[in-house]
Structure 1
C-alpha cells in the first residue's frame, strides 16, 4: 500500500476538478497525447478511481501559476509503453530488413566488381599476349632482316670481289702496254728485217697496219676501262650510300618483317603462277563474301547504334527524372533545414528553461547554505550550553528556565521555519520533478521526431544510393558494350588491314609478273578504298560515339558529384542534428546529474535533519536524565532535611537533657548557650531558606518538566508527521527513481540502438565511400586504359603510316635497285659481248701472229740456210736459233691453251707472255 501524502489529509482524491491552465510555453508541452489543445489552453481530465496529487508549479512568469493533475502509473507496463515497444520492434525489423537488402546490394555490387575485374584481367592478359606475340614477331623479323643483311653483305662482297677482279684486269691491261712497247721493238726489228727481206715488206706493212688498229682498239679499251673505273667509283659511292641507307633502314626494316616474309611467300608463289591465280580467285570470292558479311555487320552495327541512341535517350530521360528527384531532395533538404531551425528555436527555449532551473537551483543552494549556517549556529549554541552546564550547575538552575524557554521558542520558530522551508523545498522539488518529467516527455517527442527525420533521411539516402548504383550499373553495362564493340571493330580493322596488306602484296607481285590482272587489281583497290572509307566513317562514328559517351560520362560524373555534394550536405545536416541530439542528451544527462545531486543533497539534508532530531532526542533524554538526577538530588535533600529535623528533635532532646544536666552550668555557659542559640537560629533560618528554595526550585522543575514533556509530545507528534511525510516522499522518490531508472534504461536502450544504427550507418557510409573510391579508382584506371588504348591506336596508326612510307620507300628502292640491276646486267652483257668480240679478235690475231711467226721462222731458216752457204758458224747459230724459236713457239702454244682453260669462267682471255728474242 502507498503511504498517503500530507496533502491527501486535506484534499479528497475522489473530488478533484479539472482546471484550465494557461502557460506561455504550452505550445511546446501541449503536444502530449493526454491533453486536448485549444489555443494555449490545456484541459487536464481526472480519474476518480486512482489516487492523485495536485502539484502547483511556479514558472519564471510569476503571474501565471500552473496546477496540474498527475496520473501516477503503478503498472510496470502500460499500454503506451507496450505500443512504444511494438513500434521499436517494428522499426528494428525494418532496420534489419534494410540491412539485409543493403547486404544483398553489396553482394551484387561485389559480384559486378568481380566480373569487371575478371574482364579487365582477361583484357590485360590478352594485351600482354599480343605484346609478347608482337615481341616474338619483332625478334623473328630482326633475325630475318639480319639474315637478309648478311645476304646483302655477301652480295656486296661479291660485287667488291668483282670490282677487285676488274681492277686486277686493269692492272693486267697495263701489262699489255708493256707488250705494246715490246711490239714497238718488234716493229723496229721488223723494219730492220725488212731491210733484209724486201719481198715480205708488204706483208709486214699490213702487220703494222693491223698493229696500229690494235693500238687504237687498246686506246678505246683504256677509255672503256676509265669509264668502268668511273662507274666503279660511282658504284662505290652508291654502295656507300646504300650502306648508309641500310644502316638507316635497319631500324625501319625491323618493323617490316611481315612484308618481307610475305614477299618470300609470294616469290615462292611466283614459281607456281597458275595455282596462285586460282587461289587468288578463290580469295577474291572469299573477300566478296567477307565484304557481304561486313555489310551485314555494318547494318547490324547501325541497328545497334540506333538502339544505343534509344537507350541514350532513355538515359537522358532518367537523368531528367534524377534531376527532378534532386530538386525534390533539395526541397526536402530545405524543409529539413526549416525544421532544424525550429528545433534550434526549441533548443533556445529549452536553454532558457534550463537557465531558469539553474537560477532556482542556485536559490535552493543559497537556502541550503543558510540552513547549514543555522545548523552550525545551533551546534555552536549546544556546545556552549554543554560547556555552561558542565561549568556552572548552580548558576544554570536559575538561568536554565529562561534559556530553555528561549531555546524552546527558538526551536519552535526554527521548527516552523524548517517546516515551511521543507514544504517549500518539497513543492519546488515536486515542481522541478514535474518540469523534468515534462522536459523528458518533450525530449522524447523530439527524439522520436529526430528518429523519424533520421529514418526519412536514411530512406532518401538509400533511394539515392540505389539510384546511383543503378546508374553505375547502367554505365558499366554501356562501357562493357562499348568495349565489346570496340574490340570487334579493332579485330575487324586488324583483319581488314591484314587483308589489305595481303591484297597489296599480291597486287604488286601480279603487277610485276602479269599485267593481265591489272583490271582486277584496280577493282580490288577501289574496293579497298571503299572499305577504308567505310572504316574511316566507322572510326568517325566511333569517335563521335566516344565523344558522346565522354560527354555523357562527364555529365554523369557531374551528376554524381552533385549527388555527392547533396550527400555531404545531408551528412552535414545529419551531423548537426546528431550534434543537437548529443547536446540534448548531454543536457538531459546534466539535468539528471543535477537531479541526482539535488536528490542526494536533499537526502543528505533529510539525513542531517534526522541526525539532528536524533541528537535533539538524545539531548532531551540527557536533559530528562539530568532532571531525574536533579529530582533525585532534591529527594535526597528532602531526606537530609527530614534527617536534620529528626536530628534537631534529638538535639532538642539532648538539649533538654543538657538543660537538665547543664542547669548547673547555665550560668557558666549562658554566654556559650546564647552563642549556640544564635548559631542554631542562623543555621535553621538558612536551612529553612534552603528548603524554601529547594521547594520553589522543585515546583519550577516540575512545571518545566511538564512543559518539556508537552513540548516533547508535540515534537514527537510533529516528528511522526514529518517521518510519515518523509516516508511518503521517499516512496514518491522511489517511484520516481524507478520511473527514471526505467526511462533511463529505455534511453540507454534507445541510445544503444541509435548507436548501433549509427554504427551501421557509419559502416555503410564507410563502405559507400570505399565503393566510391573503388569506382573512382576503376574509372581512373578505365580512363588510363582508354588513354593508353588511344595512344596505342595512335601509335598503330603512326606505325601503319611509317609502314606504308617504308613500303613505298622499299618499293622505290626495289624499283631503283631493279633498274640498277637491269642496267648493271645490261652493262655486264655489253662487256661480256665486247670481251667475246675482243676474244675472237685476239684469237684471230693470235692465229695471224703464229702464222707470221711460222713465216718468220721459215724466213730465218731460209736466211740461215743462205748464211750456211757462206759460213759454217752461221749454220750453227741458225740451228741454235731454230731450236730456241721452236721452244718458244711450243711454250707460247702451251701458255695460250692454259690461259684459255683457266680464264674461260672469267669471260676474259689473258694476253701472251713476254717474248725473249
Structure 2
C-alpha cells in the first residue's frame, strides 16, 4: 500500500506520533511505508495503517479542533489523547523492562543442554496438552459459531423489521401530510363559520332592537288602552247621570200627562223603546267588560309563561355550567392519561436502551471470540517455530550429551517443575491482560451510558417545553369555548325548544363516557404490557447481577493466584541465582532466542494495534447504530405527539361544528318566534284600532240620540203648551204627523246600531 498523505484542513489540529516497533538494521528495508497514521476528523477517528513485514511502525494521531475557543468536546479529546500517549509510553517502558528481565532469565536458562532436553520434553507434553485444549476449544468455537449463526439470523430479522418500520414511517408521514391539508381546510371552514356567526349575531342584535321597539309600542298601546278605559268609565258615569235625568223627566211627564193618557200612549211606547235601547247598551257594556277581563287574564297567562321560561333558562344555564365542569374534569383525566402514556413511553425507551446494551454486550463477546481465534492461530505459529527450534537443538544435544549427562539427571526434575510454573505464569499473565482490556471496555460503556442519560434528560426538557406550549394552546381553546358559551347563553333566553338541546348534550356526554371507558381499557392493556416488560427487565437485571458476582469471584481467585505466583517467583529467583553459573555456556543460543522473541514481540505489538483499530471501528459502528436508533425514537415520539394533536383538533372541530348547527337552529327558531310575535302584535293592534273606532261611533250615536231626545222633549213641551192654548183638532193633526216622522227616524237608528253590532261581532270572532 502507498502511504497516505495527511489532508490539509483549515481548522486547528493536534498530531501525536510514537514509534511502535523498529526491526534490526539487517532486516530493515526501504524507508517507505513505515508510518501508520490514525487521523481523526470531526471527532470520529478514521484509522489507516500501512505496514510491511520487518519494518518499523509509527503511529500518528491527528485530531481536528473547532475554531470555537469554548469547545469542551475537543478539549476533552485533547486531554484523552495526552493521557493515552502517557499510558502508551509507560507501557513501552514496562515492556522494555520486562524484555530485559526475560533476557536475563533466558541467559540463565539456555546455559546448559540439560535444560534444553527438559524443555524438549516439556514441549512435547505441552503440545499434547495443547492439542487436547485445541480440540476442546474447537468444540466450543463450533458451539459459539452456531450461536453466532442464530444471532445473525435474528439480526437479519431485525433488519427486515427495521425496513418495514421505515416503510410504515414513510406511510405515516404521507398520512400526516394529508391530515395537515385536511386541518388547513377545516380551519378555513371554521373561519367561514365564524364569519357566519358574526353575521348571525348582528342579525340577532337587529332583531333584539326591533323587539325592544315593538315592546315600547306595546307599552304605548297599553297606555292608550288605559286612557280608553278611563274614557269608557267616564261615559258610563255620564250615561248613569243621563238615566237619572231621563227618569226625572219621565216622572215629570207622568205628572204632566196623567190627565192626557190617551194622547200620550205613543209617548209611552217611545219611552219603552228607549228603555230597550238602554238595556241593549248595558248588555253591550257588560260584554265589553267581559272582553276586557278576558284580555287581562290572557296578559296574566303570558306573564306566567314568561316567568316559567325564565326559570327554564336559569335551570338550563345551571346545566350548562355543570356540563362545563364535566368537560373540565374530562380534560383533566385526558391530561393525566397523556402523562401516564408519556411515562410509559419513557419506560419503553429505557427498555430499548437496555436491549441495545445487551446487543452491544453480545457483539463484544463475538469480538472477544474472534480475538481468541486469532490468538490460537498465533499459538499454532509459535508451536511451529518451537518445532523448528527443537530440530536445531537436537543436533547440538548429541554433542553435549557426553558432557552434561550427569548434571541433567540432577537438574531435570527441578527444571520440569520450574518450567511448568513459568508456563502457567505466562498463561495467567495473558488472561490478566485480557481481563484488563475487558475492564477498559466496561469503563467506556459506562461513559457512553452517562452520555445517553444526558441526552435523555435533554429530550425530557424538550418534551416538558412542548407540554407547556400545548397547555397554553389548550387554555386559549378553553377561553374561546367560554366565549362561545356566553354567546349561547345570550341566545338561549329567547329559545322555546331547549329540551331537545339538553337531550343532545346528554347524548354527547354518553359518547364521551364511552370514549373514557375505551381509553381506560387501552390504559389497562398498556399496564399489562408494562408489567410484562418490567418482568423481563428484572430478569436481565438478575442476569447482570449474576455476571457481576461471577466477575468478583474470578477477580478474587485471580488475586489469590497472583499472590501464590509471586511467592513461587521469588523461590525461582533464588534457584536461578544458583543456576546462573551453569547457564553461561549457552549465551549464544540465548542471543538467537532473543532475536526470535523480538520478532514475535513485533508481531504481537502489530496484532495489538490491529485489535485496537478493530475495536475503534466496532465502537464507531455501535455509535452509528445508537444514533440511528435514537433518531428513530425521536421520530416515533414526534409522530405520536402529532397524532395526539390531530385528534384533539379534530375533536374541537367536531364540537364547534355541533355548536354552529345548534346556533343555526336557534337562529331559525328565534326568527320564527319573532315573526309570530310580529303577526300577533299586528293583529292585536288592528283589533284595538277597530274597537276604538267602534266605541267612537257608539259615542257619536249616543250623543246624537241624546240631542234628539232633548229636541223631542222640547217639542213635546212646546206641543203641550200649544195644546193648552189651542183646540183639540189642531193638536190631533200635529201629533199624528209628528209621531209618523219620529217612527221613521227611530227605525233608521235601530238599523244602524244592529249593523255596527254585527260588524263588531265578526271582528271579535276572527281575532279569537
TM-score normalised by the chain length of structure 2: 0.39
Higher relative contact order structure (alpha carbons within 8 Å, sequence separation ≥ 6): 2
Whose radius of gyration is greater, 1 or 2?
A: 1
TM-score normalised by the chain length of structure 1: 0.34
